[in-house]
Amino acid sequence: MNILITGATGFIGRHLVQRLKQDHHTIKVLSRNGVRARQKLGVPAFDWNYATEEVPPEALENTQIIIHLMGENLGGGRWTDKRKREIYESRIVSARKLVAAAPSTLECFVCGSAIGIYPGEGEGIYDETYAVPAQGSFMQTICRDWEMEAAKIENKGVRRVSIRTGVVLGDGGMVDKLLPVFRVGLGGPVGHGRQWLSWIHIDDLVSVYITAALDTRYHGPVNAVSPKPVRYREFAAALGKALHRPTFFPTPAFILKLALGEAAALALNSYHIAPTKLLQEYGFKFKFTDLPIALEDLFGKI
């Protein structure tokens, strides 16, 4: 297949490109720095500044699948008004422009999303049947509008899938930020530690993206999380065990809120999410369903 990817130099994108290359697909990417992306990934790359430019027509030629991962890092510090605008527009504006420029050859548009579309509180279990409110938190607003922009591609007869991703375990993302603290024995649960954490191994997430792109049964929102979420304190204990380090030092919630403001919700919210469509509709087979095994696979040899 002829596949165009945005956000390909990021954590998820790098792993996705590597797997697609192994499967001998034709890959090209859009990046703010095409030269750097080409050198880093070893595939054709085109410059694109989503904020000021339209999608380069040459990047879209003969494209059958677009996988849209582009978006400013959510965990890049305190969410000032300027930062929130960058986080929002990098996802919504870029998706809008991709949909508008979609070529006649396009068969599938796979777009990123996140479990932040769910309330993030309480003990309730949420799946894709959840009715997203018109008014919600900043994360809910981002994800809702992101999915709405992506869904407009369906007016062109193109299949659309929005991947609602949980906490991704791998050599990047949230765990990358936690590793230095845990390696010196200062890791532990955040806040009270009872909040739910819905996670997915990077290998499984890449498989979800590729399967969603190629399997015509996949459509609409899809929760990309392991079927076995854990409490945050269980996660901290399992990560410490994988790294052979103690986990005695919880991080009080008020410290995170002082340091990060509204962005502290990424660690303090509770997301108990079920991958209902993956399991019951599509029969997706997870490689990693148990957190200790997933962490041992990733970090046990450190």
Q: Is there a contact between 182 and 243 (Cβ–Cβ < 8 Å)? A: yes
Q: Is there a contact between 165 and 113 (Cβ–Cβ < 8 Å)? A: yes
pLDDT number for residue 145: 97
Beta bridge partners of 168: 200
The answer to whether residue 62 sits within a structural domain is yes
The answer to whether residue 245 sits within a structural domain is no
Select from 262, 278, 284, 300 the least CA-distant residue to 88.
262
In the chain (302 residues long), the average pLDDT of successive 10-residue segments reads 96 97 96 96 97 96 97 78 92 97 98 94 92 90 96 98 94 73 68 86 98 98 97 86 75 56 66 97 98 90 48
Task: Give the tokens for residue 73.
Answer: 């890092």
Q: Residue ranges of the alpha helices (H) in the chain?
A: 11-22, 34-41, 57-60, 81-100, 138-151, 173-183, 202-214, 232-243, 253-260, 265-268, 276, 291-299
Q: Is there a contact between 241 and 291 (Cβ–Cβ < 8 Å)? A: no
The whole domain housing 37 covers 2-168+200-225
Q: 67: domain CATH number?
A: 3.40.50.720
Residue 167, φ and ψ in degrees, nearest 5: -70, 120
Beta bridge partners of 260: none
Q: Is there a contact between 238 and 292 (Cβ–Cβ < 8 Å)? A: yes
**Strand 230-231, strand 196-197: pairing:** antiparallel
Euclidean distance between CA atoms 201 and 187, whole angstroms: 20
Euclidean distance between CA atoms 266 and 46, whole angstroms: 32
pLDDT number for residue 140: 94
pLDDT number for residue 302: 43
Type of residue numbered 51: A
CB neighbourhood size of 196 (10 A): 21
Select from 51, 29, 25 the least CA-distant residue to 40.
29
pLDDT number for residue 134: 86
pLDDT number for residue 74: 81
pLDDT number for residue 59: 97
pLDDT number for residue 194: 84
pLDDT number for residue 122: 82
The answer to whether residue 161 sits within a structural domain is yes
Q: Between helices 202-214 and 11-22, what is the axis angle to 10°?
A: 60
The answer to whether residue 103 sits within a structural domain is yes
The answer to whether residue 266 sits within a structural domain is no
Which residue carries 């494209």 as its tokens?
A: 63
pLDDT number for residue 159: 98
The answer to whether residue 105 sits within a structural domain is yes
Check: pTM over 0.75? Answer yes or no.
yes
Task: Give the tokens for residue 202.
Answer: 């990077």
Task: Give the tokens for residue 203.
Answer: 């290998």
Select from 193, 242, 223 the least CA-distant residue to 284.
223
pLDDT number for residue 188: 67
Q: Is there a contact between 69 and 57 (Cβ–Cβ < 8 Å)? A: no
pLDDT number for residue 250: 67
Give me the number of domains the chain comprises.
1
